[in-house]
Amino acid sequence: MLIKKINSQTKIGQHGPIDAAHITRADYVRWLTESDEAAVERLFEAARSVALAHFGTGIYVRGLIEISAYCRNDCLYCGLRRSNRQAARYRLTEEEILASCRRGYTLGYRTFVLQGGEDPAQSDDWLANLTARIRTAFPDAALTLSVGERSDEAYRWFREAGADRYLLRHETRNEAHYATLHPSDMSAARRRRCLYTLKSLGFQTGAGMMVGSPGQTLDHLLDDLAFLEELDPEMIGIGPFIPAAHTPFSHRSAGSVSLTLRLIALLRLRFPKALIPATTALATLDPMGREKGILAGANVLMPNLSPPGVRGKYGIYDGKCCTGDEAAEAWQALDDRLNRIGYHMVCGRGDYLY
């Protein structure tokens, strides 16, 4: 009701008000291609009011622990692809991960996100056991896993062991586009199936795509939006593509910050309650990327809580921010930055409110 009210009261440029529940493909096209910056600013304002209505000025924070830089996959865009012989590799032990959680908990984090390549040495069993240990040690913290495609059974073990959320970007909905970004042993359909399984197991589930990945067209993005509408995820992570050295796409140009921000705004309007981060990739391309993301409707930040010694070695793309205000230790500095735009960090699990 509130959303409708906000939107019906918000005149957005020549396109008129946006009815959040009925954004059409044509609306998406118009907003993604709008050249009037003032109109785009009004789109951001509308998205921001929807986020404010649901979350106030609080921004949820997640401590991101990058648990392994080994991966059995060979995604063409990712610096951690297995055929990249130049990539720095490391893998955290169970004790190192628990110590990171402990450090994060003391700093104020109440959500830990364990993300990594699909590292065969971090088996399903091992991850389920680790999940159970974290669950026991930090009963009031939420645990998010982001460790790629696993079997239905493995996902069930993770859930039963106490994981609350799972991030698995669908990357691109378009099959042909997916096939140009991934080797032939990977499939867009399987990834989507994983997402439906995760949802059915009761995970707060996150999907999403890179913006400006090589070969991406406006139609691909529209397919992504349609897929997100169908899946109805609790979390949506999007960020610009950034080239990674020693990959087939090392010389491609990075995705657009402006397009990413418009997509964040449209996603906020379409998914008012979704947990939408202002991602590290956005902050990497634009020093004000976090603030811009929040002002376009994002409500989550994921500072880096990996052990300082390995930070910078999780090289999914070049130049990735992991120090300064991207470091989990910079709680106060990050809060100060948010205060300057009228927001603040929230110490809490920051669950999806169904």
- Write each residue from 77 to 106 as x if it is in contact with ligand SAH (CB under 6 A), else as -, in one continuous string: xx----------------------------
115 contributes a contact to ligand SAH by CB under 6 A: yes
Amino acid at 293: G
Q: How far is the CB of 218 from ligand SAH (least distance, A)?
A: 19
Phi, psi of 162 (to 5 degrees): 120, 10
Phi, psi of 145 (to 5 degrees): -110, 145
Q: How far is the CB of 147 from ligand SAH (least distance, A)?
A: 6
Contact set for ligand SAH, span 283-312 (CB under 6 A): none
Q: How far is the CB of 79 from ligand SAH (least distance, A)?
A: 6
- Complex with ligand SAH: residue 45 or 149, whichever CB lies closer: 149
Whole-angstrom distance, CA of residue 348 vs CA of residue 63: 12
Number of Cβ within a 10 Å radius of residue 177: 22
Instruction: Mark residue 224 as left, alpha or beta (left: phi above 0; alpha: psi -120 to 50; beta: remaining).
Output: alpha
Q: How far is the CB of 181 from ligand SAH (least distance, A)?
A: 10
Among 19, 94, 118, 329, the residue binding ligand SAH under the rule CB under 6 A is 118
155 contributes a contact to ligand SAH by CB under 6 A: no
User: Across-strand partners of 60?
Assistant: 300, 346
- Write each residue from 160 to 199 as x if it is in contact with ligand SAH (CB under 6 A), else as -, in one continuous string: --------xx-x----------------------------
Number of Cβ within a 10 Å radius of residue 14: 9
274 contributes a contact to ligand SAH by CB under 6 A: no
- Complex with ligand SAH: residue 20 or 97, whichever CB lies closer: 97
**In what helix (H) or strand (E) does residue 269 lie, and over which residues does it extend?**
helix 257-270
- Complex with ligand SAH: residue 55 or 166, whichever CB lies closer: 166
- Complex with ligand SAH: residue 12 or 163, whichever CB lies closer: 163
- Complex with ligand SAH: residue 112 or 241, whichever CB lies closer: 241
Whole-angstrom distance, CA of residue 202 vs CA of residue 269: 24
User: Which of the 8 DSSP states describes residue 97?
Assistant: H
Whole-angstrom distance, CA of residue 63 vs CA of residue 322: 12
Q: How far is the CB of 32 from ligand SAH (least distance, A)?
A: 19
Q: How many CA atoms lie within 13 A of 351 on its CB side?
A: 11
What is the number of helices (H) and of strands (E) in the chain? 13, 11
Amino acid at 13: G
- Complex with ligand SAH: residue 168 or 276, whichever CB lies closer: 168
**In what helix (H) or strand (E) does residue 207 lie, and over which residues does it extend?**
strand 204-207
- Complex with ligand SAH: residue 115 or 299, whichever CB lies closer: 115
- Write each residue from 221 to 260 as x if it is in contact with ligand SAH (CB under 6 A), else as -, in one continuous string: ------------------x-xx-x----------------
- Complex with ligand SAH: residue 46 or 225, whichever CB lies closer: 225
Number of Cβ within a 10 Å radius of residue 73: 16
CA proximity to 144, closest of 69, 232, 62:
62
User: Which residues are near ligand SAH by CB under 6 A?
Assistant: 77-78, 115, 117-118, 146, 148, 168-169, 171, 210, 239, 241-242, 244, 281, 316-317
